[in-house]
Amino acid sequence: MTALHTPTLKRHRTGLVAVDHARSAGGYTLFAPQTADGNVFLIDLDGEVVHRWKLPQRPGRDAVILPNGNLGYNGNHPDSPELFPGWSVWHGGAFSEVTAQGEVVWQHTDLLHHHDAQWLDNGHLLYTTVEPLSPELASRVVGGIPGSEAAGGVIYADVVKEVDRQGQVVWEWRSWEHLRPEDYPLHDTFERYHWPMTNAVTPGRDGKVILSLRSVSSVIAVQRGSGEVLWRLGHDLVAQQHCPSELENGRILVFDNGISRAHVSMPHSRILEIDPLTRRIEWQYADTPGYAFFTPFMGGAQRLYNGNTLITEANFGRLFEVTPAGEVVWEYINPHFSAYPDAASRRYLPGENNAIFRAHRYQRDDIPWLKA
């Protein structure tokens, strides 16, 4: 029997919960627990670990398998400055491409990186950073908790960068040059030290870059050439969302966390498939009752080849796959619990947890080195 003084989450069942081999898309699931000391796991459909990488830093959120079979890892760089509370948790800055044998074949450092990064097919890296706003622009940021700016009254704002294999910036987008602060107000429950908090950046088709702006509850598409905003999904549709991606049908799949959702008293999460032009919800997944599926921050949704969706209920380390009808056909709970290793992170998120930023599903052909 598990002692009752252990953390609540740790007393719950972990590992493989259920699997329906016939209806699952199959394949292998990759995840990088936030507090597992830099261990990244690849598991099969039965929950067995088929491969493990050990990196020198804990994740600065995510890890992926690249088209060449190597691991693309976003590590939490120990030298990143402590810009404001929470930065220690969600910054990255130490990027590594690592072979299955653990050999590091490419590295890039950016101490101002935070949250998401995308490893592009051309070998470039697309990711989010921050820069301080001018006092004039900072005075125009609306909402948030009064007096909660960073030291010196600073508000940091997002910059999206793309770097090549030599680490040179080949494209850059500064949020304040294309977004009016008055049009993107912070939620009243958010600190004013970070605007608009871009927690995801995803390449779309036709030169688009899709951004998730968490603290203002918006998903936008940016035209790479001009930097202009092509469309916006606002707070009437999403609430502190994560992980938008463009599907083959042009719709946007997004993890809608549900914090500060308009006119809803009971927070709950859902997965939405939205037509960005008509702003119509074409498909969604939610549990019954709604609060049975909920994560206040982080989270992911990946559409699989057979129409199923892999979902990361991040704060509870829960990974599950649902059919288009919303039936769960695979479920796994991350069994790796620990506290954040640094004091700044523990002050912001105390206690042990098994959180996962998001997970990724791959098929056998995506992993050429994996033994049959």
Tens of pLDDT, residues 144-168 = 999 999 999 999 999 999 999 999 9
Higher per-residue pLDDT: 7 or 356: 356
- Answer yes or no: are the C-beta atoms of 311 and 5 closer than 8 Å: no
Please count the other Cβ atoms lying within 10 Å of the Cβ belonging to residue 152.
7
CA distance 181 to 371: 52
Residue 167 CA to residue 148 CA, distance in Å, equals 34
Q: How confident is the model at residue 372 (pLDDT cuts 50, 70, 90)?
A: low
Looking at residue 13, its pLDDT comes to 87
Between strands 156-163 and 194-195, the pairing is parallel
What is the pLDDT confidence band of residue 12, given thresholds at 50, 70 and 90?
confident
Q: For residue 240, how many C-alpha atoms fall within 13 Å in the half-sphere facing its CB?
A: 21
Q: Which amino acid is at 120?
A: L
Cβ-based neighbour number of residue 156 at 10 Å: 23
Domains, the chain: 15-366 (2.120.10.30)
11 pLDDT band, cuts 50/70/90, is confident
- Report pLDDT digits (tens) over 46-96: 999 999 999 999 999 999 999 999 999 999 999 999 999 999 999 999 999
Residue 255 predicted with pLDDT over 70: yes
Q: Taking residues 184-189, what's their average pLDDT? A: 96
At residue 124, the pLDDT reads 97
Tokens of 127: 């990711």
pLDDT digits (tens, 9 = 90+) for 228-242: 999 999 999 999 999
DSSP state of 278: T
- Residue 217, pLDDT > 80, answer yes
User: Whole-angstrom distance between the N-terminal and C-terminal Cα of the chain?
Assistant: 37
The DSSP H or E segment spanning 19 is strand 15-19
CA distance 286 to 255: 11
Main-chain phi, psi angles of 178, to 5 degrees: -130, -10
Q: State mean pLDDT over 199-205.
A: 97
What is the SS3 string spanning 232-256? EECCCCCCCCEEEEECCCCCEEEEE
Checking if the pLDDT of 5 tops 90, the result is no
Share above pLDDT 90 across residues of the chain, in percent, rounded to a whole number: 92
Render pLDDT for 308-353 as a digit per residue (tens, 0 to 9): 999 999 999 999 999 999 999 999 999 999 999 888 889 989 999 9
Query: In this predicted model, what pLDDT tens digit does every residue of 274-317 receive, in sequence order?
Result: 999 999 999 999 999 999 999 999 999 999 999 999 999 999 99
CA distances from 253 to 9, 256, 269 (A): 28, 9, 14
Place of tokens 């097919």: 121
* Element holding 89 (H helix, E strand): helix 87-90
pLDDT at residue 355 in the model: 96
Q: Given a cut of 80, is residue 362 above it in pLDDT?
A: yes
